């Protein structure tokens, strides 16, 4: 097999590894091993970041890879977290809870379908933004009630109606037109001090995840929620015709 062919396979292999984590998350959820299930979804999100980085690094982007990535994302960040939340928290909460979970999963599918339609769009101006909350971030947000329960905060179990409303809101954010920050086009160059700081920050987060995963994931979720109004303001500043702006692109 040619060297170039092996390189082109690395991103897709990474995507399939992430898919295996997503399927395994469902298996752990069905076995009531909820902490392991969350960890598998976190690992799937790591694979989701890496497959995109690998495809750009090896210059092996392909239509097959894009479609495979979307299918894996639907299972990993739509179906798996939805079923996990239902089995762990809402299973005894009646039809309303199931409708909330279905809403989240269906909206996840709709967001990914919209992404696929927009992949080849040439009308892209702002590469530092997504339109709406991306599915991996949506999965992280929807899992927060369960993660809080690992820390002893059982508000989701005590107020299932509030949990259902929260889940539907996250689903709506997925398909909204709200601009959110994207790190997809960040390029790292070790010689740049700014990038060294980013790498150091990521390393610190990784160490914190190993030592206190639930506290760290809760804080990451909180920071992401806070970043949404900040991203809206940043988008508004870029879109203001009276302000100078370079030519970034809004991604679907």
At 152, which CATH number?
Answer: 1.20.120.1760
Q: What is the pLDDT of residue 228?
A: 92
Higher pLDDT, 204 or 247: 204
Higher pLDDT, 193 or 126: 126
pTM for the whole thing? Answer: 0.85
Query: CA–CA separation, 59 vs 53, rounded Å?
Result: 10
CB 250 within 8 A of CB 125: yes
Non-local CB neighbours of 63 within 8 Å, separated by 6+ positions: none
* pLDDT above 60 (res 17): yes
Q: Residue 218: which domain range?
A: 3-251
Where are the alpha helices (H) located in the chain, listed in sequence order?
A: 3-30, 34-57, 63-74, 80-85, 95-118, 135-142, 144-150, 155-158, 160-175, 193-211, 213-239
Query: CA–CA separation, 241 vs 55, rounded Å?
Result: 35
Q: What is the pLDDT of residue 190?
A: 45
Q: What is the pLDDT of residue 245?
A: 45
- Nearest C-alpha neighbor of 134 from the set 197, 50, 73, 60: 73
When pLDDT is cut at 50, 70 and 90, the band that residue 246 belongs to is very low
Query: How many domains, the chain?
Result: 1
Q: CA dist 209 to 26, 42, 201, 203, Å?
A: 22, 10, 12, 10
CB 90 within 8 A of CB 101: yes
The structure tokens listed for 26 are 């469902």
**Mean of all residue pLDDT scores within the chain:** 85
- Nearest C-alpha neighbor of 140 from the set 78, 204, 95, 210: 78
């Amino acid at each position: 097999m040619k060297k170039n062919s092996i390189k082109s396979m690395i991103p897709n292999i990474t995507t399939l590894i992430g898919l295996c984590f997503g399927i395994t998350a469902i298996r752990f959820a069905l076995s009531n091993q909820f902490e392991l299930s969350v960890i598998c979804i976190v690992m799937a999100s790591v694979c989701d970041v890496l497959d995109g980085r690998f495809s750009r690094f090896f210059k092996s982007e392909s239509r097959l890879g894009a479609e495979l990535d979307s299918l894996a994302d639907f299972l990993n960040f739509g179906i798996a977290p939805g079923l996990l939340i239902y089995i762990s928290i809402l299973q005894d909460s009646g039809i309303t809870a199931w409708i909330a979970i279905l809403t989240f999963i269906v909206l996840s599918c709709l967001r990914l379908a919209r992404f696929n339609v927009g992949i080849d769009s040439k009308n892209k101006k702002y590469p530092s933004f997504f339109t709406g909350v991306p599915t991996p971030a949506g999965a992280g947000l929807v899992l927060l009630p369960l993660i809080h329960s690992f820390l002893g905060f059982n508000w989701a179990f005590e107020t299932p109606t509030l949990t259902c409303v929260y889940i539907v809101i996250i689903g709506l954010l997925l398909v909204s037109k709200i601009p959110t920050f994207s790190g997809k086009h960040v390029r790292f160059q070790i010689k740049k001090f700014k990038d060294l700081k980013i790498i150091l920050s990521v390393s610190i987060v990784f160490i914190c995840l190993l030592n206190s995963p639930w506290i760290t994931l809760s804080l990451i979720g909180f920071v992401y929620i806070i970043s949404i109004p900040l991203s809206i303001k940043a988008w508004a500043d870029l879109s203001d015709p009276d302000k100078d702006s370079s030519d970034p692109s809004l991604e679907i």
